Amino acid sequence: MILSFHPCFETDIQIIPGSGPLNSSDLETITRAEAIILPQGCREELYRTCSKLDMPIFPDYKMRFAYPGKVGQSIMFENFDIPHPGTVIWNSVKEFKKTYPDMKALSQKLPFFIKDDRSHEADGIFFINDIPSLLKALEHLTNQERMGRPGFVSQEYVASGGNVLRAVIIGKTIITYWKRPGKKGDIITTISKGAIIDHQWRPDLQLKGVNRAQALSRSTGINLAAVDFVFNLSEENQEPLALEINYFFGRRGLGGMENYYQLLFKAIKNWLKDTGLDAESVILV
């Protein structure tokens, strides 16, 4: 029996999870399943409950919950030898200020980035090129700590010209496109704030991104996520450096919502075939 918790995919049994805890009927159904399809917005409780049992699960969210946030991902990149910009983890603003009592004597080379642990779509990301920009970032991080959200990273600046390569992993398929600055001089690039989607630019670097994303997927098991890479365009040998992994990601660069779900549907069917289960029992609704 195949069990789906995803609202867009019907199969032998479909359960639409609510905001509360799993009930006894849900738990009993999980124990009878041969395979489970999870929603992209899967809560940790649901994943932990399903992963305790010896059965195939799609997507594989082990890394998502084992290495949460930018702090967790930087640890994951180290543990799995995934090339990435030099990154320092900070537990608090106090720790940063204790390390650098004289902010004019930073050992981290300017410019660099500061990123709060749980920021999304460039919110909470600061380009640090002088003391005022650093003080602004630390003020934001102090406010985050007051709201119970401590932790941040400082990260090496890579001379990418603001160009970020997104590699979207959907099952065994990798789709790449560039997020390019909407206006000259933009350093922090995000589609929600005017970045341009470009599928054609630098196909040579896109191929390197595909290869690096495939290697990341093989080593970590990640099979549904968008990985952002940067390249140091000032270097002769340009290799992809992982910035972050997004388990929630926009669909515009994939051709829109409908095309995304067709790609996901295909990935789920191929996954079921690989596990020896009936791929035709799943319906996209």
SS3 state of residue 173: strand
Kindly tell me if the per-residue pLDDT of 49 is higher than 90.
yes
How far is Cα of residue 13 from the mean position of the Cα atoms in its chain?
A: 29
Residues 6+ apart with CB under 8 A from 108: 88, 154, 156
pLDDT at 157: 94
pLDDT, tens only, 179-203: 998 888 777 777 777 789 999 999 9
Name the pLDDT band for 219 (thresholds 50, 70, 90). Answer: very high
User: Which H helix or E strand runs over 105?
Assistant: none
Instruction: Select from 224, 241, 219, 248 the least CA-distant residue to 174.
Output: 224
% of the chain surpassing 70 pLDDT:
99
pLDDT at 121: 64
pLDDT, tens only, 231-255: 999 888 899 999 999 999 989 999 9
Mean pLDDT, residues 32-37: 95
pLDDT, tens only, 95-115: 999 998 887 777 778 899 999
